[in-house]
Amino acid sequence: MINQQIQIYNTLTRTKEKFAPLNPPFVGLYVCGPTVYSDVHLGNCRTFISFDLICRYLKFIGFKVRYVRNITDAGHLEGDRDEGDDKFAKKAKLEQVEPMEIVQKYTVGFHDVMRTFNTMPPSIEPTATGHICEQIEMTKKIIANGYAYVVNGTVYFDVEKYNKEFLYGQLTNRKLEELLEGTRELDGQDEKRGRLDFALWINAKPEHIMRWPSPWGWGFPGWHIECSAMSSKYLGDAIDIHGGGMDLQATHHTNEIAQSQACNHQAPVKYWMHTNMLTVNGVRMSKSAGNGFLPDELFTGNHPLLEKGYSPMAVRFFMMQTHYRSTLDFSNAALQAAEKGFERLMAAYNTLQNLTPSAASSFDLNQLKQKCYDAMNDDFNAPILLAQLFDGVKIINSVNDGKEKISAADLDEMQKLFSGFIFDVLGLAADSNASAANDDTLSTVMSLVIDIRKDAKTKKDFSTSDKIRDDLAKAKITLKDTKDGTEWKLEK
């Protein structure tokens, strides 16, 4: 049973709405996946990690989510005139390999990165090249319904005709006239009738490597049609949530809505969700801007912008500290702060496993629990959730120091609350340092040693307390006295 009410910000209505899926408890979630002609950068990862959080929370509160995230492995053209090589074919020529070797290489790399960040695999991961028939069928229907036309083997979507019945620019709240202002005039070389018309199917010259037979001759699909075709195949003609990065709103998602509406006579998506961009010094991280570091460079620190390497979980924690609809600016300082925050959280989780219960609690656990749910129910607000968990960290450390008390039942509940929100919802996992902190035997021994040292200090036996600290340091375990108690860390 789902007993939480979520509010979701819907890009389409520009308001926060109560989440009411079409067929509860089932939720259909479609996220535009990567274009696999090169490595994913950290910006791409931010979007996929944000949707991982969203999917995790929906599942956590009891929804049954079918999460579809596609792989774009065909049809991305270099220019805006629907001509030239697609990016896969171009890279394949450059590296003198078969285009599908490019696709395979970068798909495997993408999966590795997603696993490193502890994101859950989608339920279905369809590829554009595996769904050429579906894209052709959809294009045929759009032509039959009168919203597309064929010129020299290329099929164009007729935006002006569509806009007579529907609002083409509804997702970005723009009128057709405004959109037209932003486009260049057609010239003699153009085949299409309208400046905003876009290709559903593109005629391919014989030298084009990736091409398929169709009713309009040999060609390949336009980019936008793949998501319309694959989302309706796996989630139906009306789906609950469709997401992607904000940069996809104006063209890709606008065209997806038009295609699906023109084909199926219904709005394809109930809630449109868009993640904001990861930036570097205020500039969007992108392949073309050349400011995109690869996850591996981040982990090793092997990049001019990086002062050192950061663990995947410190990076995930860094992303969780900002709401998915706000921009997130990369900096070494922010990552170092995230690293510390993550360690504090994991240390407290570890302490929580070894607390001694009292007869009754001196604090209200239900209130803390409700605040954690409230944060996530408010449009998946992970930074507020973290703030609530850190209030919990203070309580854990106070109980450990004897300043607060926890009952046995509450201790059990609090352990469930922390592991549920830290691991299942935020998707954090023990990294190498944290896994040492998680090792039950080591952590039990460390609590004991810290208690003995505390006793020694209370008795003003500083030679013993210093010896404990110094000998631990030789064993690469550092102690840090904070106002909330003593924390320990195993150095790498």
Where along the sequence are the contacts to Zn ion (CB under 5 A)? 32, 227
Question: Does an H or E element contain 263, and which?
Answer: helix 254-264
Measured CA to CA, the distance from residue 198 to residue 58 in angstroms comes to 35
Task: Select the binding partner of residue 227 from Zn ion, ligand AMP, none (C-beta < 5 to 8 A, by kind).
Answer: Zn ion
Beta-strand relationship, 7-10 and 15-18: antiparallel
Pattern 255-294, ligand AMP, x by CB under 6 A:
--------------------x-xx-----xxx--------
Question: Which distant-in-sequence residues (6+ apart) come within 8 Å of 366 by Cβ?
Answer: none
Question: Which distant-in-sequence residues (6+ apart) come within 8 Å of 487 by Cβ?
Answer: 343, 344, 347, 479, 480
Name beta bridge partners: 283: 280
Task: Select the binding partner of residue 68 from Zn ion, ligand AMP, none (C-beta < 5 to 8 A, by kind).
Answer: none
> Taking the complex as a whole, how short is the minimal distance between the CB of residue 231 and ligand AMP, in angstroms?
14
- Answer yes or no whether residue 75 interacts with ligand AMP by CB under 6 A: no
> Taking the complex as a whole, how short is the minimal distance between the CB of residue 260 and ligand AMP, in angstroms?
18
Beta-strand relationship, 26-31 and 239-245: parallel
> Taking the complex as a whole, how short is the minimal distance between the CB of residue 286 and ligand AMP, in angstroms?
5
**DSSP letter assigned to residue 119:** P
Query: Which CB sits closer to Zn ion, 54 or 227?
Result: 227
**Which candidate, 343, 352, 385, places its Cα nearest to that of 368?**
385
Of 30-38, 90-98, 195-203, 457-465, the segment contacting ligand AMP by CB under 6 A is 30-38
**Which candidate, 235, 254, 238, 257, places its Cα nearest to that of 246?**
254
Query: Which CB sits closer to ligand AMP, 113 or 411?
Result: 113
> Taking the complex as a whole, how short is the minimal distance between the CB of residue 146 and ligand AMP, in angstroms?
31
User: Is 426 within 8 Å of 53 (Cβ atoms)?
Assistant: yes
> Taking the complex as a whole, how short is the minimal distance between the CB of residue 227 and Zn ion, in angstroms?
3
Query: Which CB sits closer to ligand AMP, 73 or 191?
Result: 73
Query: Which CB sits closer to Zn ion, 269 or 472?
Result: 269
Task: Select the binding partner of residue 285 from ligand AMP, Zn ion, none (C-beta < 5 to 8 A, by kind).
Answer: ligand AMP
Query: Which CB sits closer to ligand AMP, 69 or 140?
Result: 69
Binding residues for ligand AMP, rule CB under 6 A, total 17
- Answer yes or no whether residue 247 interacts with ligand AMP by CB under 6 A: yes
In the bound complex, which residue of the shown chain has the CB atom lying closest to ligand AMP?
245
Q: Give me the phi and psi of 491, to 5 degrees please.
A: -70, 150
Interface with ligand AMP (CB under 6 A), residue from 28, 194, 221, 245: 245
Query: Which CB sits closer to ligand AMP, 21 or 244?
Result: 244
Measured CA to CA, the distance from residue 385 to residue 74 in angstroms comes to 39
**Which candidate, 63, 12, 5, places its Cα nearest to that of 274?**
12
Count the alpha carbons within 13 Å of 473 in the hemisphere toward its beta carbon. Answer: 8
> Taking the complex as a whole, how short is the minimal distance between the CB of residue 109 and ligand AMP, in angstroms?
12
Query: Which CB sits closer to Zn ion, 32 or 143?
Result: 32
Measured CA to CA, the distance from residue 247 to residue 482 in angstroms comes to 44
> Taking the complex as a whole, how short is the minimal distance between the CB of residue 130 and ligand AMP, in angstroms?
18
Q: What percent of the residues of the chain are helix, what percent strand, and what percent coil, each to the nearest 5?
A: 50, 15, 35
Task: Select the binding partner of residue 35 from Zn ion, ligand AMP, none (C-beta < 5 to 8 A, by kind).
Answer: ligand AMP
Query: Which CB sits closer to ligand AMP, 47 or 254?
Result: 47
Instruction: Collapse the DSSP code of 284 into the 3-class scheme (helix H, G, I; strand E, B; otherwise coil) and give the result.
Output: strand
Task: Select the binding partner of residue 286 from Zn ion, ligand AMP, none (C-beta < 5 to 8 A, by kind).
Answer: ligand AMP
**DSSP letter assigned to residue 26:** E
Q: Which of residues 40-59 bind ligand AMP (CB under 6 A)?
A: 43-44, 46-47
Measured CA to CA, the distance from residue 274 to residue 383 in angstroms comes to 17
Query: Which CB sits closer to ligand AMP, 50 or 447?
Result: 50
Interface with ligand AMP (CB under 6 A), residue from 6, 12, 27, 32: 32
Task: Select the binding partner of residue 438 from ligand AMP, Zn ion, none (C-beta < 5 to 8 A, by kind).
Answer: none
Start-to-end C-alpha separation, the chain: 44
> Taking the complex as a whole, how short is the minimal distance between the CB of residue 306 and Zn ion, in angstroms?
31
Tell me which amino acid residue 385 is. Answer: L
Interface with ligand AMP (CB under 6 A), residue from 75, 122, 221, 244: 244
Measured CA to CA, the distance from residue 117 to residue 299 in angstroms comes to 11
Task: Select the binding partner of residue 314 from ligand AMP, Zn ion, none (C-beta < 5 to 8 A, by kind).
Answer: none
Q: Write b or e for each residue in 459-487: b if 16 or more Cβ atoms lie within 10 A of its Cβ, otherwise e.
A: eeeeeebeebbeebeeeebebeeeebbbb
Q: Which residues bind ligand AMP (CB under 6 A)?
A: 32, 34-35, 43-44, 46-47, 244-245, 247-248, 275, 277-278, 284-286
